[in-house]
Amino acid sequence: MKQSKILRELLAKKELLIAPAAYDALSARIIEQAGFKLMGVSGYGISATMLGKPDVGLTTLTEVVNVVRNIVSVVKIPVFCDVDTGFGNAINVMRTTEEFIRAGVAGFHMEDQVAPKRCGHVAGKQVISIEEAVGKYRAVDRIRKEMEPDFVLIARTDSLGAVGGSIEEVIRRGKAYVEAGADVFFADGITKVGELERIVKEIPAPILYNMVGLSPQITMSQLQKMGVAIVADAGGAFRSAMRAIWDYMHGFAKGGTEFMIQYQKEIQGHPTANFHQFIGFPEIRRLEEQYLPSEEVQRKYAQSIGYQP
């Protein structure tokens, strides 16, 4: 079954879905092994980890598609991704949709910001006209109907926190975007619980809530009762990785090899302690034993030094 179909079936159950966001293939594998049924791909995470730069629309279509393709290739759960403003106008968006469908994602969310965009929780946002945004979502809808009808279109608006924004404008745009073909609605930069409650009540589509940055921290039970369809954690993976690398490198700089020795002792027993095993060397050996000449496999493992999968 295609991942887009699986995502639609998950949404049809009307149970709250949790969607942490990956930023590369390794983080995606860890998210899947943690037991999640769904994951996103963070545009901010890609910009931060690939470019070392903030989320201000610096990544290209090709760069993001390549990252997403690598992620989809290593997991079995549905993946939806962040395509920023779609990398252009409605005509460009048609090619964007083609490329992401070919990459194997279950769906994507596209926002209505003026390009170059920026993180939805940072000041300085502007949005395009509702007419231009509707045209872009209609363009996505046309391509997905031709290529993969189950592909999930998530319409994102940043109109709440943009110049001249308001909750009324969010509602107006949400209704228009759903009418244009959006399957899920996502208003980023929500700052009050009441705003989310109104969006869920007034928009005739499943609602994605991105619980990061400015947005209120709400419990699972509250979100479920409210009727939210998906709660996303766009920054958890890359921010926790960033913190871990920072702590390790500063400890290493201060403590030298003694720090390394102590660190190796501390991670014993952790699922990632044996990195060779975690990343898949045992599977490579099984494949070699299945497809390569048996004498060659036996000889190269028996006569070389190192980790034995």
Whether the per-residue pLDDT at 64 is higher than 90: the answer is: yes
In three-state secondary structure terms, 17 is strand
pTM reported for the whole predicted model: 0.95
Band of pLDDT at residue 70, cut at 50, 70 and 90: very high
Name 127's bridge partners: 113
The token pair at 164 is: 């001249």
How many angstroms separate the CA atoms of 130 and 144, rounded?
21
Q: From 3.40.630.30, 3.20.20.60, 3.40.640.10, 3.30.365.10, which CATH number describes the 3-234 domain?
A: 3.20.20.60
Is residue 242 exposed (0-12), middle (13-18) or buried (19+ Cβ within 10 Å)? middle
CA atoms within 13 A on the CB side of 121: 13
Q: What is the pLDDT of residues 11-63, one digit of tens each?
A: 999 999 999 999 999 999 999 999 999 999 999 999 999 999 999 999 999 99
User: Rounded mean pLDDT of 147-173?
Assistant: 96
User: Rounded mean pLDDT of 72-98?
Assistant: 98
The residue ranges of every structural domain in the chain are 3-234, 241-302
User: Rounded mean pLDDT of 195-214?
Assistant: 97
How many angstroms separate the CA atoms of 229 and 186, rounded?
10
Q: Which residues contact 42 (CB under 8 A, 6 or more apart)?
A: 21, 22, 23, 82, 234, 235, 237, 238
Cβ–Cβ contacts within 10 Å for residue 72, how many?
23
How many angstroms separate the CA atoms of 297 and 133, rounded?
57
Mean predicted lDDT score pLDDT of the chain:
97
Position 43, amino acid? G
Largest separation between any pair of C-alpha atoms in the chain: 72
> What are φ and ψ of residue 201, in 5° steps?
-70, -40
- Quick check: 231 and 17 in contact, CB under 8 A? yes
